[in-house]
Amino acid sequence: MSGFINPYTFIPVYEGQKEKYQNYFAQPLMTGKICCTLTTRTQIAVCDEVGKRDYDFFKVNGKAVIMGSSLRGTIRSIYEALTDSCLSSTNAEDDDYFSSRLNKSDPGLIELTKNGYVLYSAKRYKDENNTQLGSYQTGDYVGFTDYSHPDSTILYFYLKETASRKGYVHKTDRFRSRIKGRPVENKDSIFEKNTQIARLSEKSISLLEENLKKYETKNKNIAQKYCEQLERMKQGRGVLPVWYYRKGQNYYFAPSQMSRAVFYRQPVDFLEDLHLNPCNTADYICEACAMFGIVRQTEKKSGSFAKASRIRFSDAVCEDTGCFDQKFTLPILASPRLSSFEFYLKSDGNQYCADDQTAAIAGRKYYWHHNDNSRKINTDAPNKAGNNMDARAELVKPESTFQFEVYFDKIPETVLKKLLFALTLGENTVKSRYCHKIGHGKPIGLGSAKITVDAVKVRTFDQDGYQDKNYDWNPKTLRDVFRNQKNVDNVLRVTNFNAVPGKDIQYPTTNPNGGGDIFKWFAQNRDGLRNIGKSMKYYYKLPSLNDADQHLPFNPNLRNSGGSSVPSGSGRGGGSPAPSSFGNGNSFGAGNFRMKEKKKKDKK
């Protein structure tokens, strides 16, 4: 079967469930521990840096150890998905943004007045030979005369300081594009102020600032000077030339016409719409935060709060010192890109952006298991030097066993059953098909492991003191305790070790033999850069979790060739003329819509 399968998918999300904190503990409460064994199904990597891009497996006294914090994060993310809890690992602040290409239609000028920021329409005049504005900077006020050529609507200028016509300089990059086979150089311009067309919100200016952070330029000096002019404009000391597009009440600004837009709806807005944003009040929180604990710090001290965890994980220790594999060179793993709307957002159509009301988050991000990861890891030469971006990591072999305990303190019996399901995924046998993903290298097939429960001890107190008694439980009935059974089905789908053919899993590429430029695949998958003010059009979208076929084509640009590089039923964008169709943990990333980790950026 041709095509590739993306390393990650998304568990669908439903309305978040939050209650008063005390309501979770109205039932009789239980205290005790769960004794567990973790058996690796593939190689795993829990990295401890010992040199530059050189990692040993984490050890204590020479024994392989998986930290309790890693186990806790893995189980909590599953628990969150099962209980419609918040996406706790998502950045809870409002400093993450969606952006993509959105070409602008009009030149304009922004000015700070006593009534706030104002947008003026403008008329653009080009420097035909790019020779007149060398000593000027963006925002300079100059005099000029204009001219044009017969049978052309393009306006040009001659600098003339004594001229009565005045305008504002807008400098541009000196790169060449090709139009109809001809090289065309970007032109410096003068923007002439016309009429006021809108008063702007502070939000629109902040989005312009965010866009400038993402803006790619070959001339760093031009970019710096443009940002300096923005700061002067914000102080009321000049105007800022911009290109803009209006959609409804929203204005999108950028330094150039063919450029990106930063959208008004942010990741946190999508989550708040579904009540899935990280819990931000002490008395009204989701079930996972109530059980696993939460620490929320805000700029205002009065808004900060914490709830202690009632579930604690010990480290998992492998007693077999022969479990270690050699060091292998791992391929470069990139950070999540929220601009890949065809993966991170979903919509009924195939042309959309983050501000479209039809757009929604794809869900909680999880990585598929690779039931055959030999092509990615085992054939890679141990101790290969690699390039200066490669990392060498010591792995633990498949079929290695680790022991650990989970301690619970004053939780309801229903929560204990949910915790047991989150650990075992409903099957308490070593050969079970339902497995977790732990550690680094999940996209390339590392980290698959099965957790089994050896014993559950509940502590009681009577006249003879404390006693630990065995708790009887049935793995087959655990799923019945969950309110939303769709969540259970979805979790079992993504944790199924044999859900997809592992040999076909790799990041998007146009090269069937693996490797290649990811950017090239996404460029071929998109259409719409030629259109002013139009959202990006996507020919293929990431298949939904429960689609029978998870493959995408190696060459999206073959969509109209009469043949197909992907089997029928793949993730074809709606309306297209071809076949239809948030690390592990939450993400919009690994872990949830994972937009940003402020303290530590993990390789995904």
- What are the DSSP calls for 479-514, one per residue? GGG-S-HHHHHHHHHHHBTTSS-GGGB--S-S-TTS
Which of 90 and 392 is assigned the larger pLDDT?
392
Q: What is the pLDDT of residue 183?
A: 59
The answer as to whether 583 is a domain residue is no
The answer to whether 137 and 229 are in contact (CB under 8 A) is: yes
Q: What is the pLDDT of residue 595?
A: 35
Q: How far is CA 541 from its chain centroid? A: 15
User: Which amino acid would we find at residue 113?
Assistant: T
The answer to whether 387 and 332 are in contact (CB under 8 A) is: no
Q: What pTM was computed for the model?
A: 0.85
Where is average pLDDT lowest: 382-391, 396-405, 419-428, 547-556?
382-391
Quote the CA–CA distance of 450 and 428 in Å, as a whole number.
Answer: 9
Q: Which of 430, 470, 89 is nearest to 267 (CA)?
A: 89
Q: Which of 397, 408, 280, 251 is nearest to 327 (CA)?
A: 397
The answer as to whether 133 is a domain residue is yes
Tens of pLDDT along 290-337?
999 999 876 665 578 899 999 999 999 999 999 999 888 887 666 667
Classify residue 288 as left (phi > 0), alpha (psi -120 to 50) or beta. alpha
The percent of residues in the chain predicted with pLDDT above 90, rounded, is 63
The answer as to whether 140 is a domain residue is yes
DSSP 375-411: TTTTTSPBT----TT-EEEEEEPTT-EEEEEEEEEEE
Would you give the DSSP letter of residue 301?
G
Q: What is the pLDDT of residue 50?
A: 84
Which of 53 and 344 is assigned the larger pLDDT?
344
Tens of pLDDT along 428-440?
999 999 999 999 9
The answer as to whether 122 is a domain residue is yes
Q: How far is CA 130 from its chain centroid? A: 40
As a whole number, mean pLDDT of residues 406-426 equals 97
Q: What is the pLDDT of residue 297?
A: 77
Confidence check: pLDDT of 563 > 70: no
Q: What is the pLDDT of residue 389?
A: 54
Mean pLDDT, the chain, integer: 85
Determine how many CB atoms are found less than 10 A away from the CB of residue 452: 19
User: Which amino acid would we find at residue 541?
Assistant: K
C-alpha dist (Å) from residue 213 to 200, 223, 583: 20, 10, 26
Confidence of residue 408 (pLDDT cuts 50, 70, 90): very high
Give the up-direction half-sphere exposure of residue 261: CA atoms within 13 A in the CB hemisphere: 29
Q: Which two tokens stand for residue 411?
A: 């939780």
Report helix, strand or coil for 61.
coil
Which is it for strands 391-396 and 54-57: parallel, antiparallel or unpaired? parallel
User: Whose structure tokens read 């159509």?
Assistant: 349
User: Which amino acid would we find at residue 553?
Assistant: P
The answer as to whether 49 is a domain residue is no
Q: What is the pLDDT of residue 379?
A: 41
Quote the CA–CA distance of 353 and 298 in Å, as a whole number.
Answer: 30
Report helix, strand or coil for 268.
helix
Tens of pLDDT along 500-554?
998 899 999 888 887 667 888 998 898 866 667 778 889 999 999 999 999 999 9
The answer as to whether 524 is a domain residue is no
Containing domain of residue 135, as a range?
103-262
User: Which amino acid would we find at residue 408?
Assistant: F
As a whole number, mean pLDDT of residues 90-101 equals 75
The answer as to whether 22 is a domain residue is no
Report helix, strand or coil for 179.
strand
Q: How far is CA 124 from its chain centroid? A: 38
Domain count of the fold of the chain: 1
As a whole number, mean pLDDT of residues 465-469 equals 86
Where is average pLDDT lowest: 103-112, 223-232, 535-544, 588-597?
588-597
Where is average pLDDT lowest: 363-372, 387-396, 431-440?
387-396
As a whole number, mean pLDDT of residues 382-397 equals 68
Give first-to-last CA distance, the chain, whole Å: 27
Q: What is the pLDDT of residue 217?
A: 62
Confidence check: pLDDT of 180 > 90: no
The answer as to whether 46 is a domain residue is no
